[in-house]
Amino acid sequence: MTGPARSVPTDIPFGPADVPWQKAFSGLRTLDGTPTVTPPSSDPRETYDDVPGIPYAGFQLPACALTEEQYTEAESLLRAHLQRQCRNSVGFQLNGDLDYQHRLAPYLDLPVNNAGDPYRTGSVTHNTKILERAVLDYFASLWNARWPHRDDDPESYWGYTLTMGASEGNLYALWNAREYLSGSPLLHPTPTPTPGPSAPGTARNTLAAAHREQGSDSFHPVVLFSADTHYSVTKATRLLGLDTMRSLGERRFPGENPLGRGTPWPAAVPSAGGADGKGDGDGDGDGDGTIDVDRLAVIVRFFAARGFPVIVNLNYGSAFKGAYDDVASAARMVHDICAEHGLDERHVDHGRPGPTDVRTGYWVHVDGALGAGYAPYLQMAHQAGLVAAAPPLFDFRLPQIHSITTSGHKWMGTPWPCGVYMTRTRLQMLPPAESEYIGSADTTFGGSRNGFSPLVMWDHLARRSYDDQIRAAVECDRLARYAHDRLRDLQAESGRDLWVARSPFSLAVRFRRPSTLIVTRYSLSCETTRVAGLVRPYAHLYAMPHVTRDLIDALIRDLAAPGAFSPDSANT
């Protein structure tokens, strides 16, 4: 290490032609022969992870740009690599069965932008909001919300298509929940029905704006989620400065964890049959991955009894095990316990002229990244007698549900992350400001929003009937069962416990983590779990529409080979 004025190496080979970075500048872009932009301080090729088969040199970007031949060589290497990896990918809940390029390629040269609210045209007229609304109406119907969206119908749905995936949906849901429960103004205030806000008897539930300023617990939500919850929920909680049961418990109620007096507050609500008894709730155990509704009830009761509003995240297809929480029972329980403590109907006086509004003191969000896109079709298949059983109810038919999100790239299959967020119009918050600049209410997170994603989702839905979707869902369900059977056969033949398991209706099958070679070849997703105090490195596969029995068979053959589960390679 030299001092602050250390010299940078000038002989690092760079770019496809191995020409040092400094030498690729023309006179136009240098000052006295020295480039005006910053050189590398060490060799990037040696700094970053290798991608087997595609050397970084061919992709580095020199000041003189790539020649046509260099570009072509790099691009064909990349394409072959991605095509191979996508073909063999069985580890994620991503649908790789895509077929868009022939119809949609022309749109790549149009700067489509869906800035602002989907239901206002806005001043960026080159948008695909007309398709966005069609996609949202489709999901509103699929999820049994009241549609179309109408500003003047508080019971109708409102939603938007996400520029990120369900991570953005979860973030938006928790933001919406935080604002709603902490008494911020609604976009469409619903006047209080009789008795009026000043009538006697409503005092207990009337929350004055003054309380909010005093930091009253009545405006202080706590987020509850299970140990099997996706990391985006924890991240959103932190981004939004929300309290979890652990942070609020440790700060305000040390030693009072109602799940075990004297034990530390867990970060998450335990999953059913899955806790290792330590009560740390960190995803431990080999249960099916659904939230333990009874223990959730204990936690909801603890905070509701102390006046705190609760935000409950439920998983409809958890990320690793693909588990379906019993959304209906959990949501009803949350409502009933909250009602006992005056958290069902709260009259919020938000400090502005006009009537107070009535709100729940809880918010139930459904993270349906894969499941909310897939399970409705499996439910229809069940109704048609095509499958023996289907996941439980989760959608807007349940009056206690506030929001649902799904990813577009999971069940439907899109070339990039996208998704849908949906809530009820009466739950929408007043945006910080009406944006005159975009000529549209600023109801979404993004400024610019991806306008290509609604086109891709619309294309997917426009080309498939419900019958097609139902058949595809049944196929995937069968394929997951096939993979589960083959893995259990392998387990029996190997005489070794490979921890093979499939949660009910899940498209994921989990098993002992194999060697890194196999993990990379099939893009397997891995997670470490503790069962009865022992560390278990798991991998899983997902039976998505592009996965074939041949691909499962190839994976099984690799898993049957000697050294496939060698322990040294299993922990890297």
**525 is a contact residue toward ligand PLP (CB under 6 A):** no
What does the angle CA 175 – CA 133 – CA 92 come to, to the nearest 5 degrees? 65
**133 is a contact residue toward ligand PLP (CB under 6 A):** no
Closer residue to ligand PLP (CB): 124 or 501: 501
Q: The tokens of 6 are what?
A: 């250390």
**Residues sharing a CB contact under 8 Å with residue 85, sequence separation 6 or more, in sequence order:** 523
* Interface with ligand PLP (CB under 6 A), residue from 318, 414, 506, 515: 318
- Could you tell me which stretch among 216-224, 238-246, 272-280, 312-320 binds ligand PLP (CB under 6 A)? 312-320
**319 is a contact residue toward ligand PLP (CB under 6 A):** yes
Q: Which of residues 411-430 bind ligand PLP (CB under 6 A)?
A: 417, 419
Each residue 353-392 as x (binds ligand PLP by CB under 6 A) or -, in order, gives: --------------x-xx----------------------
Q: How far apart are the first and last CA of the chain?
A: 30
Q: Are 498 and 510 in contact (CB under 8 A)?
A: no
Closer residue to ligand PLP (CB): 419 or 451: 419
**16 is a contact residue toward ligand PLP (CB under 6 A):** no
- Could you tell me which stretch among 190-198, 261-269, 311-319, 529-537 binds ligand PLP (CB under 6 A)? 311-319
Closer residue to ligand PLP (CB): 358 or 375: 375
Quote the least distance from Cβ 372 to ligand PLP, whole Å.
10
- Could you tell me which stretch among 317-325, 469-477, 484-492, 527-535 binds ligand PLP (CB under 6 A)? 317-325
Helix (H) or strand (E) holding 535: strand 534-542
**479 is a contact residue toward ligand PLP (CB under 6 A):** no
- Could you tell me which stretch among 160-168, 277-285, 508-516, 544-552 binds ligand PLP (CB under 6 A)? 160-168
Q: Is the peptide bond before 195 cis (omega within 30 degrees of 0)?
A: yes
**315 is a contact residue toward ligand PLP (CB under 6 A):** yes
**218 is a contact residue toward ligand PLP (CB under 6 A):** no
**293 is a contact residue toward ligand PLP (CB under 6 A):** no
Quote the least distance from Cβ 539 to ligand PLP, whole Å.
16
**Residues sharing a CB contact under 8 Å with residue 84, sequence separation 6 or more, in sequence order:** none
Helix (H) or strand (E) holding 206: strand 206-207
Closer residue to ligand PLP (CB): 370 or 473: 370
- Give pairs for 427-430: CB < 8 Å, separation 24+: 427/176, 427/180, 427/186, 427/402, 427/403, 428/158, 428/176, 428/186, 428/187, 428/188, 429/176, 429/179, 429/180, 429/184, 429/185, 429/186, 429/187, 430/184, 430/185, 430/186, 430/187
Output phi, psi for 566, to 5 deg.
Answer: -60, 130
Each residue 219-238 as x (binds ligand PLP by CB under 6 A) or -, in order, gives: -----------x-x------
Q: Are 409 and 334 in contact (CB under 8 A)?
A: no
**551 is a contact residue toward ligand PLP (CB under 6 A):** no
**Residues sharing a CB contact under 8 Å with residue 311, sequence separation 6 or more, in sequence order:** 174, 177, 178, 181, 221, 222, 223, 224, 242, 362, 363, 365
Across the strands, what pairs with 223? 244, 311
Distance CA 432, CA 131 (A): 26
* Interface with ligand PLP (CB under 6 A), residue from 163, 167, 226, 453: 167
**166 is a contact residue toward ligand PLP (CB under 6 A):** yes
Sign of the four-CA dihedral 359, 363, 366, 367: positive
Per CB under 6 A, residues contacting ligand PLP are 93, 164-167, 230, 232, 315, 317-319, 367, 369-370, 407, 417, 419
